[in-house]
Chains A and B, each alone.
Chain A
Amino acid sequence: DARVTQTPRHKVTEMGQEVTMRCQPILGHNTVFWYRQTMMQGLELLAYFRNRAPLDDSGMPKDRFSAEMPDATLATLKIQPSEPRDSAVYFCASGLGTGVDTQYFGPGTRLTVL
């Protein structure tokens, strides 16, 4: 049963530290999404890639966040420096890149910035 995997599942860090979250999309999927979920803001799209190229990262704070796909099997989301307001659950999802396609979500990374 193919699944999106995310590491780490939980991360506690101190303000100012760098945080890197990793996502392995389902093999064969060419679109990868990064979302952030908080109680206050709900589910927010941060960025998404198709065929490893960024299509939209307008939801991402550019000064501290960066997203990359070094290869087709790995997507990364980096925060540097981290701030307490970045505390959230970060989800990665993958799909086949068409309008009718389902997004398959990973289990999320729960980030706490102290």
Chain B
Amino acid sequence: AQSVTQLGSHVSVSEGALVLLRCNYSSSVPPYLFWYVQYPNQGLQLLLKYTTGATLVKGINGFEAEFKKSETSFHLTKPSAHMSDAAEYFCAVSDSTGNQFYFGTGTSLTVIP
């Protein structure tokens, strides 16, 4: 069985500050991990994903995430927040077949000018 936990439903950072959004997963098999972003009044879009290989994954808009198997984590980071990063962020996990997948409950990011 798989599940995803996003710690912190709301995160606020100052413009230019580090963004850290937390995601922990539970999975009985090697997972595939995703981060999606949802801007207001839009559907979700993929930020980045981990499948195999390098554990540090770079995505769009300067975001990156690191797969840490020992910590069962896939935290999303960005060195310097921009006002345009304000959105809802969802972590998701899937098995290899795509038949078992779960989205986290989302973290709303606010960027303070």
Contacts and interface: CB of A to CB of B under 8 A. Distances in A.
Interface residues of B, number: 21
A98 B96 contact: yes
A101 B98 contact: yes
B97 A98 contact: yes
A102 B46 contact: yes
B77 interface: no
B95 interface: yes
Nearest to B101: A99
Interface string A81-98: 000000000010101011
Interface core residue of B34, B46, B99 (most chain A CB under 10 Å): B99
Contacts of B96: 98-100
A42 B32 contact: no
B99 A55 contact: yes
Interface string A39-56: 000110100000000011
Nearest to B95: A99
Interface string A1-41: 00010000000000000000000000000010000000000
Contacts of B34: 102
B43 A100 contact: no
Counting contact residues on chain A (CB < 8 A from B), the size range is 20 to 34
A105 B44 contact: yes
A43 B105 CA distance: 7
B44 A99 contact: no
A107 B43 contact: yes
A100 B94 CA distance: 7
A93 B45 CA distance: 10
Nearest to B45: A105
Given A43-B90, A93-B44, 11 more contacts: A31-B98, A42-B106, A43-B105, A45-B103, A91-B43, A100-B94, A102-B49, A103-B44, A104-B45, A105-B44, A106-B43
Interface of A: 4, 31, 42-43, 45, 55-56, 91, 93, 95, 97-108
